[in-house]
Amino acid sequence: MLQSRFNRRRFLQYSALGAGGALLASCVAPAAAPGAAAGAAAATPAAGAAAAGKLEIFSWWTSGGEVGALQALFDIYKREHPGVEIINAALAAQGAGQGGEMKALLETRMIGGDPPESFQAHLGHELIDTHVKAGRMEPLDDLYESEGYNDVFPKDLMKVILYDGHPWAVPVNIHRSNLVWWRPSKLQAIGATEAPKTWDEFFTMAEALKAKGIPAIAVAGGSGGGDGQTMECILVSLFGKDGWPGLFDGSIGWDDKRVTQALEILNKTWDYAEPDFLSVAANMNDIYISDEGPAMMISGDWMNGYFKSKNFTDYKWAPTPGTEGIYLLLSDSFGLPKNVKNRDNAINWLKVCGSKEGQDAFNPIKGSIPARTDADLSKYDKYQLTALQDWKSNTLLGSLQHGAAAKQSFLLDYDLALNDMYTSRDVAATQAQLVKVAGDAAFGK
């Protein structure tokens, strides 16, 4: 029976990250057959063979910080394998859910038997439910053994990486989702010197900011994905570390009064967003850092990388209201699809992603922290050093919005329900919709 609460030592027992419960080429090796044995991914080119062919990488990394971080990995790969043509097939994350259109195109390619050499995916349900259970991925047992990943990835994270006893992806980072980014210059206008610790404090500050003509919170109502990021943080603040898993194991219904309260809070936050928030989409980050931008934004620590890429310094961070001591996490990772055209190139890519050099090049730019435990701390900024400490001490919960806490079918329906509420502002109708889609997801069955 899955547990209803977990921390670092009980991470697997309820897989809020979705893994625990059983939760184009020459001189390349032939693609693995669909029935390849576990561990076959460790095969490498013959000694002395020069790598050639192509390396096509799918991701939704197209904005500041993300682009530079991905390029850092490409630079290492190109140095080690100069004969390989790298194809950066990044597609901006438009549409509902994280990854939006990129995931839709990837699904078409995977089903059609024409996968890229590798692709970005979140550890947990996102990868397992969508591609591993469908038999589209190779297990990476031998790669983990040859590269020593079993020893340098934390034991709790290893339990998440494993599904059916095998690792299926290489995590390149750890992100935190439950953060409020706040601008000291904006809060100074109302005499505030720190972020709100409760939602009551948030609304008191929001009202004061509104009186000054300053939007309190950044909202991208035109993105097509609802406001799932903020909603999950509100839910965690109300359900806590003990209740959060229950929303996804069937022990707590989505008709719970705390879900009602969360929707009411979310609905109220929009009264303090920028006036034209319903038309704001991919330009949200640029609006936030503008002179007229909102005072606060609820988003993950990829914003740290974005801010640095823009030389923007008017920001601080804190856990979202009511979530102190909780680390709502996700992890970007790369795996090995079956039947890739340039399999050896794909394996070499995974080696770069999981290497100490690769993670210490990628994460300082991306704003996240490394998945490895042997990082060179001198390369990381103030936020990242605090995040590394919180990662060790906080209760870890998987993010819903970022593919970790629940099956992908529910996440899509959840986002669509919240997107409808932007215009309807009808809490009761939205909750009824969430109850229905939770039933469709058959949590706990």
Domain ranges of the chain: 8-174+331-396, 179-322+407-440
Q: Within the chain, which residues score under 50 in pLDDT? A: 1-38, 43-49, 94-97
For position 408, what pLDDT does the model report?
84
| Start-to-end Cα distance in the chain | 11
Q: According to the model, what pLDDT value does residue 282 have?
A: 80
Q: Which token pair is 316?
A: 């601080």
Residues ≥6 apart with Cβ < 8 Å to 291: none
Contact of 38 with 139, CB cutoff 8 Å = yes
d(CA 265, CA 259): 10
- Give CATH for domain 179-322+407-440: 3.40.190.10
Question: With the CA atoms of 410, 253, 14 and 300 taken in that order, what torsion angle do they form, in degrees rounded to the nearest 10?
Answer: 60
| Residue ranges of E strands in 19-177 | 54-59, 85-90, 118-122, 162-163, 166-167, 170-171, 175-176
Residue 236's identity, in one-letter code, is: V
Supply the pLDDT for residue 313. 97
What pLDDT score was predicted for residue 124? 87
Distances (CA, A) of 61 to 5, 94, 181, 238, 392: 32, 11, 21, 32, 27
Give backbone dihedrals phi and psi of 314, rounded to 5 degrees, phi first: -85, 65
8-174+331-396: CATH number: 3.40.190.10
H/E run at residue 231: helix 228-243
